[in-house]
Structure 1
Amino acid sequence: MSLTPEPGPAYLSMPSTVAQYVPPLLPEDTALRSAGAQWLERMAAALESWRADAPGMVLDLRGASPEGLRFLKEVLGAGEVSALAMGNPDLQVEETVFAGLWRVRGEGVDYLEAADIPAILRRRAVAGQLALPDPADLPGDLVNAPHVFAEILARHDAFERSGAAHVFNFDLVPMSDADLGWLVRMLGEGPVVIVSSGYGACRVRSTGLNGAWWVQFSNASDILILNTLEICAVPAVACAAPEDIADSARRIRALGAAYG
């Protein structure tokens, strides 16, 4: 029984390996090292300035020198989380090997952001409200889905009022394929897709209900092993932890010390 929304071209492929931090080798090229020294200082300062519930510092890369961009490509690498924010324009988001330091790219857009999660993912995921359907419009083969949907809306209202998050584990709720398919259609698909390899293979997708996210874990064969719907701002599995952000700042400072 699957709760995965109908596949489409916007889905990112599931990770097959878990990224591990390996200290980057600093380039020997003098021009790259000179450009890099400036970026290391700016990135460390951006991470050190981060505070929960505050906007992250953005470092615009559009004016960076070719040497600076080459340095960043060599040093930043790829982290555990990637995302797609559909809209105008579509944006690719990649966490670097330094947790909490993200690169966001798209048409006319290229920047680094120091944050638990890039602000663009929060903004693009903002959706509307949903209402209970007319009982007369319900398919006749549904059993539990209408009751679960009512509970989702109630938990959503509580989250909007108080910030109280909630997780629905659909592996523990008796629901038929018809129930699950109807629930997926009612919630709809949002514009944000996030893939994380930090806790196994995990796909996160926003829905048409503000603050409601599908969070689905798969095994190495890409078989769904855990289905949940989280009512929250952004699921924690996609976010960098504060201690990891602080550690990233220390790592970048240590790289900068190599220039001394």
Structure 2
Amino acid sequence: MNIKPFPVAVVGLGPGSQPEDPDLAYMPLPREIDSFDQPTLPTSEEVEHLHAAKQVIADLIAQLQGYQGDAEVYPVQDISQLDAANRQLINQLLGEGEVSCRVKLLDGRELDMQESVFAGIWRVLESSADGQLLADRIEACPIPAAVWQAARAFGKAELDIPTLPEQLMNAGPVLTEIAAAMQNPGSEAHITNFSLLPMSPADMDCLDAILGPGNSGVFSRGYGKCRIMATSLANVWRVQYFNGMNSILLDTLEITRIPEVALASADDLADSLDRLQEAWQWLQGEY
């Protein structure tokens, strides 16, 4: 089963509504900052018979009420077995938000993750190497743990610095800094801001070649376009911000489990719980 584009049946206008580009290209920035819009929901009479989907939402709300913010153990609802009508209600309720993730696991499986209009509530599709859908679930968390777990499993634990061309300006010291930070990780991210350093094009080409590509990426089209890409090194991420012309505004490297900018906050999740409860009351005819 082909899982691209992301199979959300009802999508509103605005950021996040654009079709997914298979090459992970970026669409133009939104001209306005959108506030939260409650999804357009059917009446309670129209969904009275959709008990399975409503039970999924009720169970998710109950799990969220007891969730303490753990990065690895968090609410999960498997909806793989829902029929088309119940799945459509889930699609309509969750909608499509502004952040998506893509992960390729070591065994060839792929994960496509789309944050819903409720921050911190994610739709996760798992597919086989040949594109067959294996699982469909809802995860409620700052970010699905597979994003950083897979990147860490794929990445090398140490940076071996090769002999560098003499004409480089600052690639050598930057690589030495990265290697040292990898050996002594702190509680806070170690950030190298390439936008503020005198880096030549040859320096950046050298760094790109040595850092290499990873297997996880996070993409945001919210307040500004942001791309967070794992490298071939464990816990080393490239974080880039773009303007409306797809030019880089800020180019950084972060050594951390996962850059903080990728995470939904505790306040985001608390707000999403409130919004989900409002939607539940609507579906029950109690709102």
TM-score normalised by length of structure 2: 0.80
1:177 shift after superposition: 0.6
Q: Which residue of 2 aligns with 1:235?
A: 259
Which residue is 1:146 aligned to? 172
Structure-1 residue corresponding to 2:40: 25
Match of 1:169 in 2: 193
- Shift in Å, 1:78: 0.8
CA distance in 2, matches of 1:114, 1:213: 23
Q: Is the 8 A contact 1:11 1:193 kept in 2?
A: no
- Residue 238 of structure 2 aligns to which amino acid in structure 1? W
Question: Which residue of 2 is the match for residue 133 of structure 1?
Answer: 161
Deviation string 1:159-216 (CA, Å, 9 cap, x unpaired) is 1xx4331111101111111111101111111001111123400011001111110000
SS of 2:214's equivalent? coil
Closer, same or farther in 2 for the Cα pair 1:49/1:122, shift >3 Å?
A: farther
Give the whole-Å Cα distance in 1 for the aligned partners of 2:63 and 2:219.
24
Aligned-residue offset at 1:130: 3.0
1:203 corresponds, among 207, 223, 227, to: 227
| Structure 1: stretches of 5+ with no match in the other structure | 1-8
Shift of 1:86: 1.6
CA contact (8 A) 1:44 1:250 kept: no
Q: Aligned partner of 1:78: which letter?
A: E
Deviation at 1:43, TM superposition (A): 2.2
String of CA shifts for 1:139-160, please: whole Å, max 9, x gaps: 222121011110011122221x
- Distance in 1 of aligned mates of 2:34 and 2:258: 21
C-alpha displacement at 1:20, in angstroms? Answer: 4.0
Determine the C-alpha separation between the residues in 2 that align with 1:36 and 1:228.
42
Over the residues paired in the alignment, what is the CA RMSD in angstroms?
A: 1.9
Identity %: 33
1:223 aligned to 221, 227, 247, which one?
247
Structure 1 range deviating more: 149-158 or 176-185? 149-158
In structure 2, the gaps of 5 or more residues are 1-20, 128-133
Distance across 1 between alignment mates of 2:208 and 2:156:
16
Counterpart of 1:117 in structure 2 is 143
Higher relative contact order (CA 8 A, sep 6+): 1
* SS of 2:213 mapped into structure 1: coil
- Which residue number corresponds to residue 14 of structure 1? 26
Which string of whole-angstrom CA distances, capped at 9 and with x for unpartnered residues, describes residues 83-129 of structure 1?
Answer: 11123211111000111110111321211111100011122111112
C-alpha distance in 1, partners of 2:191/2:180? Answer: 13
Q: Which of 75, 80, 87 matches 1:69?
A: 87
The TM-score, its normalising length taken from structure 1, stands at 0.88
Contact 1:10/1:84, CA 8 A, preserved across alignment: no
